[in-house]
Amino acid sequence: MEKIIDIQHLNKSYGTHEVLRDINFSVTKGEVVSIIGSSGSGKSTLLRCINLLEKPSGGQILYHGENILDDKHDVASYRKHLGMVFQQFNLFNNHNVLNNCVVGQIKVLKRSKEEAEKVAMHYLNVVGMDKYINAQPKQLSGGQKQRVAIARALSMNPDVMLFDEPTSALDPEMVGEVLKVMKELANSGLTMIVVTYEMEFAKEVSDRVIFMDKGVIAEEGSPERIFQNPTQERTREFLKRTILQPQ
């Protein structure tokens, strides 16, 4: 299987604080990888390094075999292939739902307004928000905002979707509607990297689970193995804590 993203020996430090150390993993087409681990273990920093919101301090990120950290590599063209969904939605508050999903397509992908609207409508339908195209973000619930944010990212037809704790800022009753959409996307064959505290989601939906601890990948494997038979004591402790006391 072709690796879409292949991370090799990635490091990230802030001053003398080493936040990521020798991270190695890859993602193949259609794979869903969940990244779990305690607060401060480096999960968000890893996602932010993958889409270059943070500059890695060392190592390589190969995208279809090419190191995008090479000086000669065009960062903007690489980032076009990645969709990102944040904890805090980050919708444009001065645009209605439809425009939120259209502006990036016109600006970055140079699509016509007509084409962009067609694509946006398709994905708003996928996330069940097509009836709200004229609504302003402030009129929406958190779950609805997050579904629009997912449609906006999908409208750019990314190769890989990165989700950074997409349900952590939601009221509990809205978590399910967002996870349902993410589950459908996973089943449709979308390639996804998901940082999450939703252990049920990680267990049921992922093809692979990565457990991070203090800036390193402590353990990696199928959800069955990680959840039923973790080999590391720190994985066991984390799962015990998280499953008994969701964070």
Ligand X SMILES: Nc1ncnc2c1ncn2[C@@H]1O[C@H](COP(=O)(O)OP(=O)(O)OP(=O)(O)O)[C@@H](O)[C@H]1O
State the Cα–Cα distance between residues 185 and 196, nearest whole angstrom.
16
CB nearer to ligand X: give 38 or 155.
Answer: 38
Report, in Å, the least distance between residue 142 CB and ligand X: 18
DSSP string of 20-50? EEEEEEEEETT-EEEEEE-TTSSHHHHHHHH
Q: Which is nearer to ligand X, 149 or 195 (CB)?
A: 195
Task: Report in angstroms how near the CB of residue 218 gets to ligand X at its nearest.
Answer: 12
What's the number of CA atoms in the CB half-sphere (13 Å) around residue 192? 30
Q: Looking at beta carbons only, is 10 or 19 nearer to ligand X?
A: 19
Write down the least CB distance from residue 180 to ligand X, Å.
Answer: 23
Least Cα distance to 50 among 100, 4, 101 occurs for: 4
* CA atoms of 52 and 29, how far apart (whole Å): 20
Q: How many CA atoms lie within 13 A of 35 on its CB side?
A: 30
> Closest separation between CB of residue 132 and ligand X, Å?
29
Closest approach of Cβ 59 to ligand X, in Å? 16
Strand runs (DSSP E) across 159-230, as ranges?
Answer: 160-164, 192-195, 208-213, 216-221
The CA R_g of the chain, rounded to the nearest whole Å, is 18
Q: Which residues contact 125 (CB under 8 A, 6 or more apart)?
A: none
Task: Please answer whether residues 37 and 212 qualify as being in contact, where contact means their C-beta atoms are separated by less than 8 angstroms.
Answer: yes
Name the residue nearer to ligand X (CB basis): 42 or 59. Answer: 42
> What does the binding site for ligand X look like in residue numbers (CB under 6 A)?
14, 17, 19, 37, 39-45
CA–CA separation, 197 and 186 (whole Å) = 17
The nearer residue to ligand X, 42 or 142, going by C-beta atoms, is 42
- Nearer to ligand X by Cβ, of 41 and 105: the residue is 41
Q: How far is the CB of 239 from ligand X (least distance, A)?
A: 15
- CB 204 to ligand X: min, Å: 21
Report the residue number, 37 or 230, with the smaller CB distance to ligand X: 37
Of 93, 91, 95, 100, nearest to 123 by C-alpha is: 100
